[in-house]
Structure 1
Amino acid sequence: MASRQKLRILCFGDSLTAGYSSMGAIYHTYETMLVQFLEMAFPELDVETVEDGVPGSVVKYDFKSRMEEHFDPDTKGNNGYDWAIVLGGTNDIAMGIPGEDVFTELKKVWDMPLRRNVKVLALTVPEAGMGNSPAIIARRKALNDSIKGYKRTNFHAFDLHAAIPYFAMSAEDRRRYWDDAIHFTPDGYDFIGNKVGIYLVSILAREKAENDPSPAKRRRWFKDDEKVFDEEENESPKAIDRGYVVVRRRDLD
């Protein structure tokens, strides 16, 4: 039996990466669902994650030094990582640190894995259900816009802010997915892992197709290839939670 290909991912950030919930009584990381999703999509992969989420961590003050523990600046080693998923900025925004200052520090954090040929998936800062003054909203938007607009080889950004809103959810969904208006419930972290997993699968599938040495084949159309399913159109957390994943042939071509 052929050995499975290893995919090693660093999940790096603050309490949202640590899976903080119920005032610290529960820790349920999004990486659990992420691994399940990736291995379901690619059975040939053996996915290994390293979780480094520290509650209260601030990008401006300690993200860089913490990332150096994984990517020693005095060596060229990458600890075998293929990807680094980085989520940070919630605490900075709450402390009044300008979005541009947080972004400057994030670029230094991303640079460490990128210089070692480790791909980076940066997540935008999710919405919060408290402390949403105009100034905080502006800081969050400025930071998220900068993350989404950043361009560099092997750098990818996923808009977590748009994927799991607070105010646009129904009261029922909010109770299910959000814990204390900043952190999430275990179901909420699973939802994040599902969303991030879908995005990462799309990248891996595209890379696999691009690296496929077989001759190009004439494109075939499949039944329902253009159909829009309710789960896509509604973008409902309930629908995604049922396990629906829509992958079209054109997404892999």
Structure 2
Amino acid sequence: MAGRQKLRILCFGDSLTAGYTQMGSVYHPYEETLQQMLEMAFPDVDIETVEDGKPGDTVKHGFLPRILKNFPFKKQDDESYDWTIVLGGTNDLAYNIKPEDIFEKLKQVWEVPLRRKSKVLALTVPEAGVFREQLNTRRTTLNDLIKGYKREGFHVFDLHTAVPFFAMSTKDQERYWDDNVHFTSDGYDLIGNKVGISLVSILAKEKANAPPAKKRRVFRDDDKSFEEEVGDPTAIDQGYIVVRRKDLD
């Protein structure tokens, strides 16, 4: 009997991936809800999600060394990841790093899993609860660069549009945001739900577009037992070797 299909996903990023909330006294990563979404959508698949988020980390200075540790060259294929979800850039923008520089580093980060045959789902940088025209302009520039990138195995989910701050009611802002940058537990669950819907949609499309499995041709007497097969297989004076067409496929 063939084993169950497996799906391993790495959720990589900074504090927004780690699920940082309540000034770091609580961590509630979106990865938990993401896994629940995938398990409901694909009950016959063994789902494993791994969270690697580091609060305060920047794409420019911290992401590349860390993601390389997740994809060592000697790692076995069954220990690697089928998908890598990357969310980063919030801290870089806060440090006034140019969006073009952040994007160039993001491409290097994405390339690591892509070279190991792990597909990438890049998330755009979400809104913050503070309106600063210059910051918003740089965030928009970075997100446009992310959304415009094309590469085989590379996908984008626009988290910025899916979870807006200013378009939400005051009640929802209080429910989903813990401060001007980080989310509450409900907020991270919302992210996990949105990202989960996106990934389920991508996986469903891939499954629908996959070529049908090749059917084995069945020949007459393939499943018939011959009396010549009965006997002690270790005795050279008993039985014959019967070769069927299916044994040659």
Distance in 1 separating the partners of 2:68 and 2:3: 31
Matching residue's letter, 2:118: V
Q: Report the secondary structure of 1:51's partner residue.
A: strand
Gapped runs of 5+ residues in structure 2?
215-249
Secondary structure of the residue that 2:70 maps to in structure 1? coil
Q: Which has the larger radius of gyration?
A: 2
Alignment partner, residue 102 of structure 2: 102
Write out aligned runs for 1:1-253 (5 A): 3-72=3-72, 75=74, 79-130=79-130, 132-211=131-210, 213=212
Paired residues, number = 213
C-alpha deviation, 1:77, in angstroms: 5.5
What's the TM-score once normalised by structure 1's chain length?
A: 0.81
* CA shift for structure 1 position 45: 1.2
- What do you get for the CA RMSD once the two structures are aligned? 1.6
What CA distance in whole angstroms lies between the structure 2 residues aligned with 1:14 and 1:214?
A: 40
Identity %: 64
Cα distance in 1 for residues equivalent to 2:98 and 2:137: 9
* 8 Å contact from structure 2 (residues 93, 139) kept in 1: yes
TM-score, scaled relative to structure 2: 0.82
Shift of 1:212: 5.1
Structure 1 counterpart of 2:226: none
In the alignment, the residues of structure 2 paired with residue 160 and residue 63 of structure 1 have an alpha-carbon distance, to the nearest angstrom, of: 19
Q: Does the CA contact (< 8 Å) of 2:71 and 2:80 recur in 1? A: no
SS in structure 2 at match of 1:139: helix
Structure 1: runs of 5 or more not aligned: 216-253
CA distance in 1, matches of 2:156, 2:173: 25
- Check conservation: 2:13, 2:53, Cα contact below 8 A: yes
Deviation at 1:80, TM superposition (A): 1.9
Q: Does the 8 A contact of 2:86 with 2:123 survive in 1?
A: yes
How far is the alpha carbon of 1:135 from its aligned partner?
A: 1.5
